[in-house]
Structure 1
Amino acid sequence: MAEPFYITTAISYPNGKPHIGHAYEAIAADVIARHQRQQGRDVRFQTGTDEHGLKMAQKARDLGITPAELANEMSQHFIDMCDGLNVSYDVFQRTTEPRHHAATQELWRRMEANGDLYLDRYEGWYSVRDEAYYDESELVQGEGGDKLSPQGTPVEWTVEESWFFRLSKYAEPLLKLYNDQPDFIRPDSRRNEIMRFVEGGLRDLSVSRTSFDWGVKVPGNENHVMYVWVDALTNYLTGLGFPEETAEFQKWWPANLHLIGKDITRFHTVYWPAFLMSAGIDLPRHVFSHGFLLNRGQKESKSLGNVTDPMELADRFGVDVLRFFLMREVAFGQDGSYSPEAIVMRGNTELGNAFGNLAQRTLSFIAKNLEWLPQIRGHDAADAELFEAVGKAVQQQIPAAFDDLALQQGIDAWLQAVFACNAYIDVQAPWSLRKTDPERMETVLATLYICIAQLAVGIRAVIPVKADALLDVMGIPAENRTYQAIGAHWYSPLAESDFKLAAPSPLFPRLELPAEDA
């Protein structure tokens, strides 16, 4: 039996509505989760919201509501986004849940029992927007001469009593981790960056605040609330029943993959493993930091007025088109850019013209000209060559690329197989064979039928609704919708059954650029 697979996204900070970056990460994680299910693995996919911290308290105060009211309202937007984008999460973990407070406090107690927490006074630079502490040496100078964090966010000098975590104690164990498990942090550019940071020396980390009270209380010292990153990171354990040694915990932990944005790599690859080492808990296997998604090459910000609601894009262009575009356009792990023009171009040329039109003209021709599905009446070299190209893409190249989180490369392998099918139908010309060689026409159409079904399965993790709609029309049973099960063996029984193909509807109607974007 295949090993279970536990994947998480970073939990989103809901002091504003979801933007395209949240959608990008959720869709990428969903593609990976669906891909693993398609390989027969039992998958647990967790996402959620990180609802504590000073930013939430300040935003609620500005709106004249309580932080809890703000958290309830805003978290629903993230749930709605995931549901609207067909993100197949199993658990949506909110950090305001009582079970999460219990889990986080137990992690704290274990770190304290290990001698890694002590009370002192914090004086230093803090970024409210990043919820992060920065050393003086890390700060950069803004245009007006103000000190800014490495992320370009404002910092303020903070002085207060604080609990500290002995992060300095874990520099050598962390470096050993990175050296012994080179794929713990991916891609390599992020691993190298983190190694340089740790090699420069680690300072003990302030892990509590007294200047506000919206957070998880420190056990035995309730005038302190925990640093939001202690709280947030523990979410990966919460839903498994931690601290109880539940069957869920034993089955799913350690997580196979934390999927995160590159701006929070330090928290997941330095702080989180150090906290877990201190608490005596196994470390996750892999952390993958993806890049930023840029709006026409610019990072989105409210001040520039270019923040995009992902659901507006999904409504305009279609959920599966948006999912395909985001996974196809950007090399996973690097920064990428999007625009309405680019979405329309990819949707029309690669989904509509290349794949949608291939399926439409093949299936329409069969429905119009044959009473039943075409029979295979002897293959020739061209048929065998196409079967080999499509089978290799669907059963080898796509699964291997997706396993390696090379999502763009997997889609490219799929497209090459689509192009091979289009070249085949143009050369074989079944519309001409109808009069000159009906038996050969049937074999060509049967060959295409098999290959189109394989292609639908190959791209199913990326465009699940459209792919399954096509497979439904084609009569492919659910048990054959995996990479390995979609060989040619299922076709003859289907062709010999009483299944009759109905005339299909176009999978991907042509997209037009809205007037405001033209």
Structure 2
Amino acid sequence: MAKKPYYITTAIAYTSGKPHIGNTYEAVLADSIARFKRMEGYDVRFQTGTDEHGQKIEIKAEEAGVTPKAFVDNVSGQIKNIWDLMNTSYDKFIRTTDADHEKQVQKIFKKLYDQGDIYKGYYEGKYCTPCESFFTESQLVDGKCPDCGREVVDAKEEAYFFKLSKYADRLIDYINEHPEFIQPESRKNEMMNNFLLPGLQDLCVSRTSFSWGIPVDFDPKHVVYVWIDALSNYITGLGYDLDGNSDPMFEKYWPADLHLIGKDIIRFHTIYWPIMLMALDLPLPKQVFGHPWLLMNGGKMSKSKGNIIYADDLVDFFGVDAVRYFVLHEMPFDNDGTITWELMVERLNSDLANILGNLVNRTISMNNKYFGGVISNPGVCETVDEELKAVALAMPGKVAEKMDKLRVADAISEIFVLLRRCNKYIDETEPWVLAKDESKKDRLATVLYNLMEGIRISAVCLEAFLPDTAKKILDQLGTQRRSYEELGEFGQLETGGKVVEKPEILFARQDLKEVMEKVEAMHEARAVKEEGPAQEENAQDEEVIDIEAKPEITYDDFSKLQFQVGEIIACEEVKKSKKLLCSQVKIGSQVKQIVSGIKKYYSAEEMVGKKVMVLVNLKPAKLAGILSEGMILCAEDAQGNLSLMVPEKEMPAGAEIC
């Protein structure tokens, strides 16, 4: 039986600059939904990408002294790298500068013009450059842009207009007949009461005051306005062709099941986009969800306010899955959420390190201690077991119910209900007490089995939200992932197998004071860097080091060495050693254990989350009795101080260094 298709998209990110954690949240949210749908057996198509045209880009490129294409190539690359860093499993990363997209946009514009839906006129009004939107005087808020709050300017230019009013009644009927189309309910009410019911004005869909855009092919002094260009990506990314030569993928996945967007662009996706589709005689998407914002100390993040937090900085401090957990768990369904460094530390320590990490660690450790790691289930049950089993069996259904309603934070909370119940079960059964009585050995084995099975079920459900952590848990239990559908029965953890001999710490607790000191140092270093040329004047005074040259090697010699970017996911001091740290380094899909003599310069806690350069194919050797499977590269100054070699730009774990 063929899998049912499911098509989910994010809004495409605007390439005006590096995205902050609030922008990144949307990609992670969409990824969690896409992963969960795959777990449920759907044939998922997940699309994201970048929006790359417009006056704002043209201005920024000129300020940077580069062409607009060079500018967007750089920023689009940054955005894609961050999406990759956050482990988002997109199937298509579209760019609006892609040639096939631009060609279809021109065809769409021409068709709408030919059928009388687009006409030429003049636009005169208040224009917001950052939002690339015209407004009437009555639409302004305190004389400023109603969307972003910035200053507007008077503008008049020749433009083409799209007859929104022609389709307004049809759209109103559609929304009334499909109450699930706009979510949450508050967004639907806003669109109906503020825009549709008062009457739609025709939409400006071309510009002549700048050139960085897709040319209107029959009137080249005009470029296609951003919203026809950007919104079309949802169909061009599926291979839509207006002349009837669409890719079979378009027939398979359209209409989209879900457009996931920020609440600030809901109008464009629930009014302009549906009317475009009506004019093209295409089905409308099944649902548009306008998610809330992730705020910093109660305010929207912006560079001008100086309150931006970037995803890669958070990952450097806490790791990918900790950041994913925070943004997914802390965002309500229809209200704005808040992020601060302090809240990150609190959530990491309380939920991830304590409730989840400590549970997994001590359960596996007890099974190793009392049964040599072997998993068994003698079936010596007591009444106290029944509640744990009931919670475990009910949880997957509750998670699915919440996910069907896009209540992702609530779905994660259901998983943690089971994890908390497992911790309570330990207190109730007291395995350490059972271990003292040989006659209760089978009961002890049953208790530990119940715990490991509860953890296994939790890990399967966590996969959509914390994919790396879920895999680590299953690996430590020595078991393979089963399908989500198979969670209806308690007791599927295989007996006879063994848990890992030494459980890995999933999440290390963080000291708030130390974290805030590092954050302050990071901000200071960044401020100094941004000051720029002042330091270059003293460049001639910088220390230089000459070392004795080694014999020349050939390219063939060099090609034998395999260098890759590694991410340190765990690190601990080597006992009885003053110099050595033992790191678990993620390189692609594998983890290598590497021992390094850098304890004097870096603490174990400081190492976790860093991206480093690794010599991967160094022959394994034992240092202080511990196997080391590679080498972490450092630079050394004249005084012998070491500094880790780290990528200048954000790169994924496993990237080849060449």
Tell me the TM-score normalized by structure 1: 0.95
Partner of residue 391, structure 1: 393
Distance 2:94 2:35 in 1: 20
Question: Which amino acid letter does the alignment assign opposite residue 110 of structure 1?
Answer: K
Equivalent residue in structure 2 for 1:451, among 450, 454, 458: 454
Partner of residue 145, structure 2: 148
Listed as ranges, the gaps of 5+ residues in structure 1 are none
Distance 2:487 2:333 in 1: 28
Partner of residue 184, structure 1: 181
Q: Which stretch shows the higher mean deviation, 302-311 or 254-263?
A: 302-311
Distance 2:418 2:178 in 1: 35
Query: How many pairs were matched up?
Result: 509
Partner of residue 325, structure 1: 326
State whether residues 147 and 264 of structure 2, in contact with CA within 8 Å, keep that contact through their aligned partners in structure 1.
Answer: no
Give 1:113 shift: 3.4
Partner of residue 488, structure 1: 490
Question: Which amino acid letter does the alignment assign opposite residue 474 of structure 1?
Answer: L
Give 1:106 shift: 2.1
Distance 1:318 1:487 in 2: 33
**Residues 371-428 of structure 1: CA deviation (Å, up to 9, x unaligned):** 32122323232212211101211x2011111121101111111111111111111110
State whether residues 260 and 289 of structure 2, in contact with CA within 8 Å, keep that contact through their aligned partners in structure 1.
Answer: yes
Distance 1:154 1:238 in 2: 34
Partner of residue 116, structure 1: 117
State whether residues 477 and 498 of structure 2, in contact with CA within 8 Å, keep that contact through their aligned partners in structure 1.
Answer: no
Confirm whether residue 169 of structure 1 aligns to residue 205 of structure 2: no
Q: CA RMSD in A?
A: 1.5
Q: Which stretch shows the higher mean deviation, 380-389 or 437-446?
A: 380-389
Confirm whether residue 26 of structure 1 aligns to residue 23 of structure 2: no
Give 1:268 shift: 0.4
Give 1:487 shift: 3.6
**Residues 455-483 of structure 1: CA deviation (Å, up to 9, x unaligned):** 111111111101111111212223x0525
Partner of residue 443, structure 2: 440
**Residues 315-334 of structure 1: CA deviation (Å, up to 9, x unaligned):** 11111111101111120332
State whether residues 393 and 490 of structure 2, in contact with CA within 8 Å, keep that contact through their aligned partners in structure 1.
Answer: no
Partner of residue 383, structure 2: 381
Partner of residue 53, structure 1: 54
Distance 1:180 1:379 in 2: 53
Distance 1:315 1:486, change over 3 A: farther
Q: Which stretch shows the higher mean deviation, 184-193 or 366-375?
A: 366-375
**Residues 263-285 of structure 1: CA deviation (Å, up to 9, x unaligned):** 10000000000011001111111
Distance 2:464 2:144 in 1: 44
Identity of aligned residues (%): 42
Distance 1:413 1:147 in 2: 43
State whether residues 130 and 153 of structure 1, in contact with CA within 8 Å, keep that contact through their aligned partners in structure 2.
Answer: no
Q: How does 1:334-349 map to 2 (within 5 A)?
A: 334-349=335-350
State whether residues 242 and 249 of structure 1, in contact with CA within 8 Å, keep that contact through their aligned partners in structure 2.
Answer: yes
Question: Which amino acid letter does the alignment assign opposite residue 495 of structure 1?
Answer: T
Partner of residue 236, structure 2: 238
Distance 1:121 1:418, change over 3 A: same
Distance 1:432 1:377 in 2: 19
Distance 1:500 1:283 in 2: 50
Distance 2:368 2:401 in 1: 35
Partner of residue 474, structure 1: 477
Partner of residue 160, structure 1: 157
**Residues 253-300 of structure 1: CA deviation (Å, up to 9, x unaligned):** 111111000110000000000011001111111100011111111211
Q: Is the partner of 2:222 in helix, strand or coil?
A: strand
Q: Which stretch shows the higher mean deviation, 284-293 or 468-477?
A: 468-477
State whether residues 131 and 147 of structure 2, in contact with CA within 8 Å, keep that contact through their aligned partners in structure 1.
Answer: no
Distance 2:127 2:237 in 1: 30
Q: Which stretch shows the higher mean deviation, 210-219 or 379-388?
A: 379-388
Question: Which amino acid letter does the alignment assign opposite residue 260 of structure 1?
Answer: I
Partner of residue 260, structure 2: 259
Partner of residue 507, structure 1: 506
Confirm whether residue 15 of structure 1 aligns to residue 16 of structure 2: yes
Give 1:61 shift: 1.0
Give 1:20 shift: 1.2
**Residues 147-172 of structure 1: CA deviation (Å, up to 9, x unaligned):** 43343122122111111100111210
State whether residues 328 and 409 of structure 2, in contact with CA within 8 Å, keep that contact through their aligned partners in structure 1.
Answer: yes
Distance 1:122 1:515, change over 3 A: closer
Give 1:173 shift: 1.0
Distance 2:57 2:83 in 1: 21
Partner of residue 218, structure 2: 220
Question: Which amino acid letter does the alignment assign opposite residue 184 of structure 2?
Answer: P
**Residues 61-109 of structure 1: CA deviation (Å, up to 9, x unaligned):** 1111110000101100001101111111111000001011012122223
Q: Is the partner of 1:284 in helix, strand or coil?
A: coil
Question: Which amino acid letter does the alignment assign opposite residue 441 of structure 2?
Answer: P
State whether residues 457 and 486 of structure 1, in contact with CA within 8 Å, keep that contact through their aligned partners in structure 2.
Answer: no
State whether residues 218 and 225 of structure 1, in contact with CA within 8 Å, keep that contact through their aligned partners in structure 2.
Answer: yes
Distance 1:211 1:120 in 2: 15
Distance 2:312 2:350 in 1: 22
Give 1:489 shift: 4.8
Distance 1:108 1:503 in 2: 62
Distance 1:69 1:150, change over 3 A: closer
Q: Is the partner of 2:411 in helix, strand or coil?
A: helix
Distance 1:486 1:82, change over 3 A: farther
Partner of residue 208, structure 2: 210
Question: Which amino acid letter does the alignment assign opposite residue 224 of structure 2?
Answer: M
**Residues 131-151 of structure 1: CA deviation (Å, up to 9, x unaligned):** 12222211022xxxx543343
Q: Is the partner of 2:238 in helix, strand or coil?
A: coil
Following TM superposition, where does structure 1 have runs of at least 4 consecutive aligned residues deviating by more than 6 angstroms? none
**Residues 40-59 of structure 1: CA deviation (Å, up to 9, x unaligned):** 11111111000000000111
Question: Which amino acid letter does the alignment assign opposite residue 358 of structure 2?
Answer: N
Distance 2:102 2:500 in 1: 55
Partner of residue 201, structure 1: 199
Distance 1:10 1:457 in 2: 29
Higher relative contact order (CA 8 A, sep 6+): 1
Distance 2:19 2:144 in 1: 28
State whether residues 218 and 224 of structure 1, in contact with CA within 8 Å, keep that contact through their aligned partners in structure 2.
Answer: yes
Question: Which amino acid letter does the alignment assign opposite residue 219 of structure 1?
Answer: D
Confirm whether residue 80 of structure 1 aligns to residue 78 of structure 2: no
Q: Is the partner of 1:222 in helix, strand or coil?
A: coil
Give 1:221 shift: 1.1
Partner of residue 317, structure 2: 316
